[in-house]
Chains A and B, each alone.
Chain A
């Protein structure tokens, strides 16, 4: 707009800013102005400058949300003012509070229509901040059954041992497809999620994993290698010590001959002997 004087331009811009029609942004070269689209402009009509400031801060936080204390630091407003403004904005349905899964007392604020980020809600395993342990258990068992049946069919095929072992392996991609087809999960599960479940099976000692190098482009390979899983049997049966009542006794340290608790009058032994 070269034909209008700088002075007049400044006045006009200031007026537009105060009416809430323009956004003020800073860049390397100087100040930039952007026209707000009418919807947004309408929203902020009833609010004053402070509210606009807070709203902007929350908007900047993106989908991770921002804590009320951080808002206070950024805007330098006193706490009471902040709380009033936040309540106002919430009632106007412009922002919402989301409870963080990491620290359950903390509330983060973000724009109303944004999806909260995974790190805040905890991802597929959490629904409303609650850890879904039954869901995990069910998935656990299903994956294990799948791998077990695969191993069974491989063993019964009675071919030479190498083929038997190789066919009892299942890649994480296969397991993922199986679980998706089962349809027991309402939430969409990614391959990493399935891998975390399979890891818990490894920690249960029921499954072992190997990594093989796979060509880029084969189904299910990540960065040139694939993870294969296989159901295994435990290497020893429950050990001798736990078959005797002493192995599981909660008062083991107090037990000695001639005392209140002794082998002669041990109730656990009596029960065990009657079994």
Chain B
């Protein structure tokens, strides 16, 4: 765990759960697997508090426990799960687009509570929906359960494993009842698939019986007829046009879709690894372009395409004057986007008689960029907290005023009195509040955007590591 990741985890834990949980969580991330007493001793907190903190963390699937030899139970935190907390808003949004408000509320409840039983979720969501609906109507429990079952089918929610009650040698916490938890890995597959692919996804989810997270599967083949059958009705695409689209997709130089045979009118495959590689490369290129300029981006893409290239050839191919090309190459080299490969002509490696070739190693560049992303998000969160702290006095005042107004409205006060109270907040102060709100929103939105980059890069790195 790098420093940047640990810092980010600590900020997230603090924001969502408070100081004590943060202390315990960060300690576990830093030191790995530890038993209860050692945690209490090292962090200097009372056993009671440690237990409560661990409870919270386990409930939210951030810490797992295991029984080791001699019957000691050790707790281990998973840094990657903590970092997923950044993505919660995106999960909720995705569910909202696919399953409308009911789905959104279900996912929100589950994310807030970590784990819940199905009946508890359904009850809570139905009650919340009833509140917001018109008077006299109530939300049907069956409808909520229906949505819940659909979510479970498409692996948005997943059942927790339950500890068997017959296990008496387990001195750990008592066995949890069958509860449900969000299966996070699947959530992010949905935004990536194209419009045609939506049909495909539903078909393949029926085939996928084992509940294996889809991100792990390298490709799945579907044939022409299945695709045609599973297209949403409103599209109005005839069979020939569909054929042509599929051929175009398969021929595209980006190679997202491949054709693997002709049985059944053509078998098509999605090359997830290639797709991820292209997306990661595009991310790298975009970063180079924004940071160094479009000429640098040209050189970068050139080196990517040619794999290994000499400095003189860079000038020739990219049609950029020699001095500028040299400058840009060195800048990118110093920022670790590129690396040099030496090929000596003579056994004594003399610099004047060696070839120096520039090359881009996508995996290492992706890792470097990922690290930068983590630090950026940590910076953004810190700035947001700083801005809020700066204006704390103002925020408290506005909260008090709102509370007074609300209570006066409840007791039926006059217009004039309400006006007076509102004027307690002067115009410039109101302005300040507005700016503060806007800034905080902007910082929040920016965090989510950087998280998108993190998602791409992480998926690419994971996919490449699995293949090796």
Contacts and interface: CB of A to CB of B under 8 A. Distances in A.
Contact of B446 (A235, A243, A248): A243
A241 B373 contact: yes
Interface string A194-214: 001101101111001010000
A210 B255 CA distance: 13
Contacts, number: 127
B240 interface: yes
Main secondary structure of the interface of A (DSSP, over half): helix
Nearest to B3: A256
Interface in A217-275: 234-236, 238-244, 246-248, 252, 255, 257, 262-264, 266, 269, 273
Interface in B435-467: 439, 442-443, 446, 448-453, 456
Contacts of A46: none
Interface string A159-194: 011100100000000000000000000000000000
Given A136-B319, A160-B241, A235-B278, A244 B380 contact: yes
B379 A239 contact: no
Interface stretch (B30-38, B66-74, B279-287): B279-287
Given A196-B319, A203-B305, A264-B382, A241 B376 contact: yes
A199 B376 contact: no
B282 A236 contact: yes
Given A131-B322, A248-B290, A240 B278 contact: no
A125 interface: yes
14 contacts: A161-B245, A162-B247, A235-B282, A236-B282, A239-B287, A239-B456, A240-B453, A242-B287, A243-B450, A246-B380, A247-B290, A247-B372, A264-B383, A273-B442
A242 B386 CA distance: 22
B240 to A, nearest CB: 7
Given A236-B282, A255-B379, 17 more contacts: A140-B319, A162-B244, A165-B248, A200-B318, A203-B299, A203-B305, A236-B283, A240-B450, A241-B376, A243-B446, A244-B376, A244-B380, A244-B450, A247-B287, A264-B386, A266-B379, A273-B439
Interface of B: 240-241, 244-245, 247-248, 253-254, 278-279, 282-283, 285-287, 289-291, 294, 297-299, 301-302, 305, 317-322, 369, 372-373, 375-376, 378-380, 382-383, 386, 439, 442-443, 446, 448-453, 456
Nearest to B442: A273
Contact of A162 (B248, B317, B456): B248
Nearest to A234: B282
Contact of B383 (A125, A160, A263): A263
Interface residues of A, number: 41
Contacts of A197: 319
Contacts of B240: 160
Given A160-B240, A241-B453, A244-B380, A236 B386 contact: no
B301 A252 contact: no
A133 B321 contact: yes
B297 A204 contact: yes
A205 B288 CA distance: 13
Nearest to A240: B449
B248 A266 contact: no
Nearest to B312: A102
Contacts of B322: 131
Given A131-B321, A196-B319, A203-B318, A238 B247 contact: no
Contacts of A244: 376, 380, 446, 449-450
Q: Which of B289, B319, B320 has the most CB of A within 10 A?
A: B319
A203 B318 CA distance: 7
A259 B410 CA distance: 49
A236 B298 contact: no
A266 B305 CA distance: 37
Contacts of B320: 133
Closest 9 CB pairs of A and B: A240-B449, A246-B376, A242-B290, A263-B379, A264-B386, A240-B453, A240-B452, A263-B382, A263-B383
A273 B305 CA distance: 38
Contact of B297 (A133, A165, A205): A205
B127 to A, nearest CB: 36
Given A204-B298, A204-B301, A264-B383, A252 B372 contact: yes
Contacts of B253: 208, 210
Contacts of A262: 382
A252 B278 CA distance: 27
A255 B375 CA distance: 10
Contacts of A248: 290-291
